[in-house]
Every structure is written in structure tokens, then in C-alpha cells.
Structure 1
Amino acid sequence: MTNPSSDSAGAPAQPVSPPHVDLEVKDAQIIFNRVWAKLEDEFGRENLRFPKELILLGGAPGAGKGTNTPFIMKVRSLTCEPIVVSALLDSPEAKRIKDAGGMVGDREVVEIVFRKLLEPQYADGAILDGFPRTRVQVECLKLLYDRMIELRREFYDTPLRRYFRQPVIHIMVLFVDERESVARQLRRGRIVAEHNEEVRRSGVGELMEERATDQSEEAARHRYRVFKEKTYHALQSLREIFHFHFINAQGPLEEVQENIIKELQYQSSLELDPQTFDQLRRLPLASEIIVHARQELVRRLDDYEFQKSELFHRVLDFIEARIMPIVKRHAISGRAQINSEDPLLNDPEALAMLIDIFSERGYHAVVDLHRIEIPEQVDLKTGRISCRMKKVFRIMVSFLGSEIRRGA
């Protein structure tokens, strides 16, 4: 009779799986250098042309990233679809890594994201949703910015300079508190469930994704805490380096979008090359010259009356007699053009008075001088034509016209 114990003792021992070893190098500098060297070797240094503007978009679950992304694109005049990292990780490249038994770690994420950013369609700018999410990715982003600045300096005095512009990186976080986040996630779950139930019942429409975290309060809270502990802190660590925009997304959509507009207003000092900005700053901003425009207008009009009353009254008489009858006939359109050869308008000060008078009365006036040569004499021997110069002042007056129709 065979002894089972002796058989088992004589059988070869089953191999024991070694404990899993995470072979990914966690040193951000090493990861970045490997990815950069690979890209430089593949594309060439002169072709490492990253976007001029990057908006790194993060948000608490339910904060409205998906809802507000198209609006952010419109505010910043971006036309390319946002780069969603979670979608990139479902790309064929990422799937090849997973199919080969690998894990999509920081090195793979950094390389996939950097490759995507090099696509020509993102040259002017891109919204990057879901990056960085770890400390390693944060450090790699800092190193990328340093390299972008380095490339800019390297190619600044070459014909390739236009491809290496001053980079601008925005960190934008849409934030809601935990209570609001959980409520929005669960509400979204109910809406999706009702929609899918109707689709299954009627056979009309398309099923929507049902997220497990939208079905359970506990799961929704866990998702929010993961955001706070990982993504939020990763983005917060960049606020001292890049332009950080904290958007309160608790309120209604209109209020949230108003906050976004305020945060992303154009700022030339941040976006232009410093040399370009230094040249432009000699001219005042429109917002600066209008600050005291009303007070300055009042002062000038009073000066006209008390110091140059004779000319001032002549200009008023001219407007009343020659211009206003025509303006009144254009009350519906709100736009009138008057041509005049009156010698009064040859005086630059009279023109200034005319414009100020219309401004005070609520109109917008623009005066354009046209010089027309009028033939007067022909020399029959030489064929030379003598002309006199005719000066025609075209006065454009615009204002808010009348609405002839109200309603249907």
C-alpha cells in the first residue's frame, strides 16, 4: 500500500512566488532624465516643442470639472480637446504596458503625458486634467518647466525662437467641501440610474456610465478624501512656482464661471516675453486712462466755457445747426455720418471741443479728415494739371438707437 505521506514528501516542492517588488524608480530626477533622454533621442532636441500655455485642472469629486472645462477653454481661446490623463491610461500604449504584465506607474504616466503635449495641435495651449497626482509627478512637472525655459534660452537668437515661447503654467482647482461633494456625487448617481433605466425600458438613447462611487455614500466620501490627501496636496505644492487659481465651486454655475473669468483674465506681464512687455508698458492700459476720464472731461468743458468761450460757443452753434438735425434723423439706427468743409474744423482745438461736447451728451463722435485733389487748370503745352486741395471732415456720431420693434 502506498504511503501518501511518503509520496508527498518525495514530490518536488511547489515554487513559491517571490514577494512583489516595485521596480519603478521613485527618484523624480532619474525618471525625468530617462523620459527626457528618450524623447530627445526620438524627436530631436529642436522638436521638443511643448505648449505655450498649460492649464493643470484639478477638482474635488462633483466640483464640475467636466461641466466647466468647455467654459475654461472658451475663456482662454483654446480649441483642442482637453488632455484627460485617465483616458490616456486607456490608450494602446498604456494597454501594451499592462498586457505585458507591467504597471502604469509614474515613469509611464510622465512619458505618456509628455508625448501627448508634443503633438502640434497643442502648440498654443492645452488643458491637462488629472496631472500631476503624485509627488514624483509634481517634481517631474517642475523639471519640465525648467527644461522649457532652458530650450527657450537656447533657441532665443535662432529662427526657431517662435517655437519656444515664454511658457505659462496655471494650476486651477475647483473646490467644494466634503458634504457638497458627496451630495453631488450621489445626485449624479441617481440621475444616471434613472436615465439608464429609461433607456433599458424604452430602447431609446445610450446608456451612461454608472460609477460605483456615485452609488454609495461611503465610497463617495472615500473618493473625496483620496482627492484631498493626494491630488489636492500635490497641486497645492506648486502654488509657489506657478499661477495658482483656487475656484470656489460651491455656488450656482453662473457664479462659478464668473469666478473662473476673474481668475483667468489676460495678464500681459505673465504671458508676454519680458522684453516684449517692457516695450509695450510705455503705453498706458485702457483701464488706466478711463479711471478719471469723467473728471477730466468735466474739467476740460469748464475750461472751454471760462477761458475760450468764443470758440466754444461757435462749436456749439455749429453742432446745433449743422449736425444735430442729421443725427436726429438717424435716431433709430443710432449712427450718423456728416461731411463738412466748414473752416471752423480746421482748428484742432475746435475738433477737440466737438468730440468732448458729444461725449458729455452721451454720444460717441469720431472725426476723420479726407484730402481730395480737385483739378483746376491744365497747361496745354506741358499737360500739367494744377489741383487745389479740398478738405472734407467726416464726422461719425454713434449712440444707442431706438428699438422700433419690441417683442414679436
Structure 2
Amino acid sequence: MVTPSDRPDRQQHWWVVLIALTVSVAAIASAAFTQSGSPHGRPSAQAGSTASPQATTSRALDIGVAYGDTLPFMSDQKLASALDDAVTLGAKWVRADLSWEDIQPDSPDRYQWDRFDRVAEAAQKRGLHILAVISFTPPWARPSSCAHSQACAPADPATFAAFAHKAAARYSAMGVHTWEIWNEENIQFWQPKPDPAGYTRLLKLTTKAMRSADPKATLLMGGLAAVPTNPSQNHVSQSDYLTAVAKLGATHLVDGIAYHPYTFPYLPSARTTFGTAFEKISSTSVNLVSILAAYGSAKLPIWITETGAPTNGPGAVSDGVHIPPETTHVTEAFQAAIAADTVSAAAANPHVAAVFWFADQDTGTDRTNRAAFFGLRRIDGTAKPSFAALKNAITTYEESLNAAP
């Protein structure tokens, strides 16, 4: 999860750039689909392969919008509008936090299920599937040594697993069968610092509890942030973390690996000397797919449960090639190119089962806070060029499926 443009008066030539980029991306997408064939029935990867081996997935790419922990606190009108955006885009999935802290904020004996009930009911009404992210510890369940943040690991992972059991039992009746267990546990979202052994203990208890409540459940390892290992920041790279938990057997507990490959200011399909976050799925010398193969989990699919790009801030770039050192954002036109390319890049990688764009709408106006500007819509509700670009890319992809033999 991301923690915390062109200007409205952008010149007309950016629209020309956008059109050209959209046409180019559509052509790339069409070529990718033609070369790879139908995404259905793809063969399994060969163990030990490092350069995009054959597919591990056996279904079409699932496409969704990630909303973070926003939907439960929206008015009925705003909730409807937010989910209607997913429908308009052609997405079939939404990713939403089912925060333990939201449901049991002040007591182990009181549940505020109504907060997420509204989300589940509104999504079900629109025919949208939910990927629910279950995470975040309420104050009463945190260890005394880490009481300052919802990202603190639970004092007792069994207590978290018991909550997860109740959640799976309740929401399976509303059609929710897909869960992501925690979020970005390899960085600051697992406090006081990332702990592969601690996370694996929680995962073992939680997957058992959730499957006992819902045998149909699809359970994902929490989305790994794409970062380099940096002890001073308590960051463990996605590769180092996956290796650590795989050694402990974690990959045999889940049905997929969630991953957050933000690539801005580069396109997801970019080929670089350093390896973008997308390339590190299966194309770099050390990659997620090769790690899974090394530990007996070669067939586990990768779910991209967050990716996107922030607009409207300092150092914004427009082409993914000329990158100033102060880059923190991209232009609205280039965000649109990234949105379109995200679909084709994900569809072209046979190991990727799903991709979710973060986010639907900007959440603020402070230009120094890039987390506020990942939306397909601006804070005032007006659509950025990325909204139409993502919609067109999804339509192109769906048409390619329908045309496939």
C-alpha cells in the first residue's frame, strides 16, 4: 500500500502525446495477446527458470481497482459512485481493506461489522468480486512494546486468526471468498520491523482458520512492497522476504503471492539495466518466480494487488526516459500511458493472475504528499486522462479474449 500532471491548464500537445501513447500501447497489447495466445489453459513454468518461463496461471487475467481503507467510511452516495467507477472501467474486482481495527476498534467483545457489510453488499449488487485485505491491529490487541500503530503485529497471532475465521464465515455468505492476509509486511506495515518468522506463524494459523470457515477461500500472502533491502529503513526486499518465508514453508500455505510493483516513472513494460519492479516478477536474475520454483511452489500465481502512479507533484516526468533526480510524480498524460501499459504488461506475463490499479480517486491537495495523487480522478471528482486510458485498455483486453480461438 502506498503510504502517504499536468496542471489543469496543460497544453494541448499533451493530448496529442496521450493519443499517440494510447494507440502505441494498444498495438503493443494486441501483439502481446497474439504472441502469447489465449490466457486460458497456459502450461506450467519450468522449475529454476529465470527469464519469463511458460505460464503458471490457467485463467484469464482478473482486473480490479484497489481502494485501500476508504470504502467502509464513505457515505452511501460516495460508496455507490466509487464502485460504479469499477463497473464503468470494465473491472470485475475491487480490493478493499477489511481492517481488524475498523471492526473491533475498542474491544475484543464488540464487532462493527456494518462498516464492511455495506461494502460487500454494494459490490455484490454490482456483480463485483471483492479481494478483502485482512490486516491492522486494534489497540487492545497490540503488544505493550508496540502500541503506537495499527501496523503493529498482533500480540497473539491466534487472536488475529480467530478474527479472520469470523470474517471468512460472515462474508463467504456474501460472496467474498478471496483474501489477502496482511499488507506490505516486508516494510513499515509490520511493526516494529519486518519479521518473516513472525509473519509465517500468523499465516499458518490464519490460513487454517479461514479455510475451516470457508473451504472455497482463495488465500494470498500479503502484498510485498517492491523495495531494496535497507536495514536503516526496516525494509526487506520482496525477493529477500519471499526467500525467507519460503524457507519456513509459507508458500505452501497460500494460493498465490500478492505483489505491489509500482514502476513509475517508467512504464511497466520498460526493459532496463537495473530491473523495474515488473521485471522482478520473472525477468531479472533473481525474481519472484525463480524463488517460488526453488522452494517447490512454481505453480503459485502472482497477484498484482496494487500498482499505479502519482500525479500533480514536483519533478513530474512525461515520458519515462528523461528522469530528473527530483522525480516524485508523473504528468497526468504519462499516468494515462502507465495505466494502459499496466494491463498489457500484466496480461503478457503468464505468471500474473490479476492486476489492481491503485487508486480510484485522489485523497488530498498537498502537492508534497504523493500518496494523495494516485487516483484516476482528481479530488474534485473530475476524471484524469488515465480513467479513459485504463477503460480502453481493459476493453481491448476483453475483446482480445473474445476473439481468441
* TM-score (normalised: structure 2): 0.27
Choose between structure 1 and 2 for higher RCO, CA contacts under 8 A separated by at least 6 residues. 2
Q: Select the structure of larger CA radius of gyration.
A: 1
